[in-house]
Amino acid sequence: MLDKQEFLQKYRVEKRFEASGLVWEELEAIYDDYTSRQRQETLKGISAELNRLFSEEEIPGRHSVGYRIKNPEHLIEKIIRNATDGHNVEKYKRVDRKNYYKLITDLIGVRILVLTKEDWEGIHDFIMENFEDSGEHYINFRKEDYGYLDESEARWLVEPPVAYVRYGDSDIFKGMLETKYTHKDYRSQHYTVKFRNVYCEIQVRTLAEEVYGEFDHQVRYPYNKDNKFLKQYTSMLSKITVATDHILSLCMKLPEDILLKCDECYEEEIFPQFSVVPAKNKGQETRNWGTQNVLEACNINLERRMKE
């Protein structure tokens, strides 16, 4: 059982709960049903089966796969938050112990990681081959019960797949995914599916995007979204993420003959080693690696190119 005051203070949702119109006793009933042995065993079995599907099959571009079952307290927190903010307020206001699993679409989450942005397409093709996308079962077309059908063999998409991108990103999705632009630096592809009677969210990200996403989710979201210090550094990390993805994509796509040409161009460049860096004008003398040494090496390279 949840302690009301302790929970509301822990998740900083006192005012949101008061404004939501939700009944605490109903939220407790949802929590009790969700944490029941039968419900949890069902979710564990389905999530493990879904994980095997994406882990054991040969999927081009896949780096690794992980999954999770939604934390019970996070489920209650999500209901409260979404009943007061967002585009699905009315849906969350009508959540109760009998329908919460019909309305909430991420009780199970699967995350598929890829090395480069371009690897998304192999994952997309696999999902499209294994989950029906006729539109017949889309949630938006069935407002009364939000698309929930009691079908044990269900394996279909319930929303159009979406790619969340930043302004300025390359359009690599070829019209195969709906693109949604955001100022929040979030980048990922989302597929919402029905699998064995449970809604599941599948996310596809690069390794670099995963680092940014985990940092942003654990450090800034949802309690420190307005912290100026964290906003500055999450923005910097996002730019580093984009740069990392661009570098990986470029280097992975370059043919061997171009790589050899690039190697020739950089033949006389000075690159600091991990442990030691040649000191300027001091022969074989070395000094400890550090930021200043890297800057010196960059300056030497720049001076040489300017003289040329």
Phi, psi of 134 (to 5 degrees): -85, -20
- The mean-pLDDT minimum among 6-10, 79-83, 285-289 falls in 285-289
pLDDT in tens, 221-274: 666 767 888 878 888 888 888 888 888 888 888 888 888 888 887 777 766 655
**Is 11's pLDDT higher than 80?**
yes
Burial class (CB in 10 A: 0-12, 13-18, 19+), 224: middle
pLDDT in tens, 24-40: 999 999 999 999 999 99
Task: Give the residue, 137 or 32, on which the prediction is more confident.
Answer: 32
Distance from C-alpha of 272 to C-alpha of 152, rounded to nearest angstrom: 59
- The mean-pLDDT minimum among 46-60, 173-187, 214-228, 273-287 falls in 273-287
pLDDT in tens, 44-93: 999 999 999 999 888 999 999 999 999 999 999 999 999 998 778 888 88
Long-range contacts: 29-36, Cβ < 8 Å, 24+? 29/96, 29/97, 30/75, 30/76, 30/79, 30/95, 30/96, 30/97, 30/100, 31/1, 31/2, 31/72, 31/73, 31/75, 31/76, 32/1, 32/97, 33/97, 33/100, 34/72, 34/75, 34/100, 35/72
